[in-house]
Structure 1
């Protein structure tokens, strides 16, 4: 099912959900309005075309809501994230112009970027259109031993005791909810998984939501609002460090020891950084099942960007997860750049990184961690959402994931968004998850 319209529903996250939106990745927050606005709009309202069909883009430069006369714009058109096929500086005597964007002969996305300079400051706008997007196929393939590789990892993890440690955080508790920092043993002895857990105080059995993180290193606060509605929330981090330290610690780690962690040990599939991360997601499900307050059945996983990738991975690896919500997933169709089209974040094979990463060993490792290959294994319902203008997680790569899913799925498109979500978008996703978890809980 495809949901291409906005719905409203109770926003569950409050301030904490706004914080999630801001830290998915550095570019995840919605760009604020600027003094000069560059609007780029395609001639199809649904931003979608058939292969071979021509697309045109109307570029409008606005100041105080009116067209800015006698300005200029640098215009580039081409497949997203690769070199433009059209590049020209155009005069806009009336502040507006329409350009022929051409077409695409194969399924994919075409992007028009317009940049203008006013009083020495640059302003930029873009629009990205899809050509038969539901026919996009991934460029990566699944290794023959993919399932065996991850089955072995889960078997190794299962031998490690959970060793749960909960520390009450009184200042983050409410009348209805207890909030704890948790840590459990993670993949390989000695490693710990940290996060925040919020548990309703009222005696009973509750469904659970696992919140998986966007890229970066940061403290966590816990999701109290959802817990007050009767959902255990487990918000996990991935780096094996406590989540209640001074924020400056995380900044130092981000700029230092954990800088570019997503490339660490990429030449070895057994040692790559995300192996412990993916196993940490399974370990978080172990934690949920160990809680006496858990209802024993209903778990949803929710995440965006890196977290969108982890939501798919977790649901694919662990059959105890019953539902997933995935926003603009990263780590998707990573080898796209090797086939002259966009690849997924962290863009390990683009022109900036290929000189180091484009080796047979690193390409092979990427296949074991590519979200496309986990999407093929999904068996549970999922809600997915993104926009066409995302420059962090290109839509070509996200459709490579979505088109690989054979399980029940819904897609909510907010086409003009980049790597952020509208309030209506978050509300719809929250409402979908609430309906799955709480309606099933009521039936018990």
Structure 2
């Protein structure tokens, strides 16, 4: 079959090439301690959008560094309590989407949360305050500052914090929470389940933010990864600091978080994906130690994968 990456047999064993910082575990333990010390100041406001069988809320909470984070929250009216919940994350630059696409889970008696990533297309705040460039991308935000200033560090923490908020809702069974998302949402699904290990099930689709050096070496630092090329061209044109930069990116490389996951995983990958190359996705998948399965779409790229949404719903019905 046609290929844009390694042969499938090599993908199944590929372990990634981006550096992992020596203090990676300490970095994330410190970050989680910061998150847990935040008073979330949770606010629920009834949304203008409502349906007969569920209540729809605009949910706000305070994340690390004081940013107010927004999420849609759909709560079924007649479900047993406590009941399962799903937490959803969106693609890069997007937002939490339409209320109507959350209703299938509400009809099943599940609560549903969908977060706007800070500083992207929704209502969540980006409080800024980093040194260095902020041009054209969140991957490079904070790359010339202390590693604690990397923006995706804060976004990863937002995902874990929202999952914890969901688990603490009196109507939600904390032991029956699932996480879903595609592309950036797939990456955040993995990060969320790694940083909040109580997540029971997760279904990431072609996850972004993995194995940055592999993206670079494949000359695919374009589309969603264009900011990597822009950063080097403008700020390190001779790559004298290449090792330093890729190592720092290792803090926000999901392949380095994947072995923390304890929940059951069902992941989807398209083997013709030039936006998030298959090898970068396998680098994360191959490090997952919990129960897992991979749905492979040989002829598909970074696009709708037929049938996977239905598989996801059926997978989450087992919560």
TM-score by length of 1: 0.62
Deviations 1:48-75 (A, max 9, x none): xxxxxxxxx6xxxxxxxxxxxxxxxxxx
> Alpha-carbon deviation of 1:365?
1.6
Q: Normalized per residue, which structure has more helix? A: 2
Q: Which blocks of at least 5 consecutive residues in structure 1 are unaligned?
A: 1-41, 43-56, 58-78, 81-107, 110-128, 246-256, 438-444
- SS at the partner of 1:324? strand
The corresponding residue for 1:364 is 247
- SS at the partner of 2:311? helix
**Aligned pairs (5 A) from 1:172-251:** 172-189=49-66, 191-202=67-78, 204-218=81-95, 220-222=97-99, 223-239=102-118, 243=122
Higher-Rg structure is 1
The corresponding residue for 1:120 is none
CA change 1:342–1:408 in 2 (3 A) is: farther
Count residues with an aligned counterpart: 301
CA change 1:138–1:237 in 2 (3 A) is: same
The corresponding residue for 1:5 is none
The corresponding residue for 2:299 is 416
- SS at the partner of 1:413? strand
Contact 1:195-1:242 within 8 A present in 2 as well: no
**Aligned pairs (5 A) from 1:129-208:** 130=8, 132-170=10-48, 172-189=49-66, 191-202=67-78, 204-208=81-85
- SS at the partner of 2:303? coil
The partner residue of 1:262 within 117, 139, 143 is 139
The corresponding residue for 1:319 is 197
Q: Distance in 1 between matches of 2:108 and 2:285?
A: 30
CA change 1:181–1:243 in 2 (3 A) is: farther
> Alpha-carbon deviation of 1:158?
1.1
CA change 1:205–1:219 in 2 (3 A) is: closer
Q: Which blocks of at least 5 consecutive residues in structure 2 are unaligned?
A: 125-133
Q: Distance in 1 between matches of 2:251 and 2:153?
A: 9
Contact 1:328-1:385 within 8 A present in 2 as well: yes
Q: Normalized per residue, which structure has more strand? A: 1
> Alpha-carbon deviation of 1:351?
5.2
Contact 1:332-1:400 within 8 A present in 2 as well: yes
> Alpha-carbon deviation of 1:178?
0.3
The corresponding residue for 1:303 is 181
Q: Distance in 2 between matches of 1:197 and 1:169?
A: 9
> Alpha-carbon deviation of 1:267?
2.5
> Alpha-carbon deviation of 1:291?
1.3
* C-alpha RMSD over aligned residues: 2.6
Deviations 1:351-374 (A, max 9, x none): 555333653442222100101101
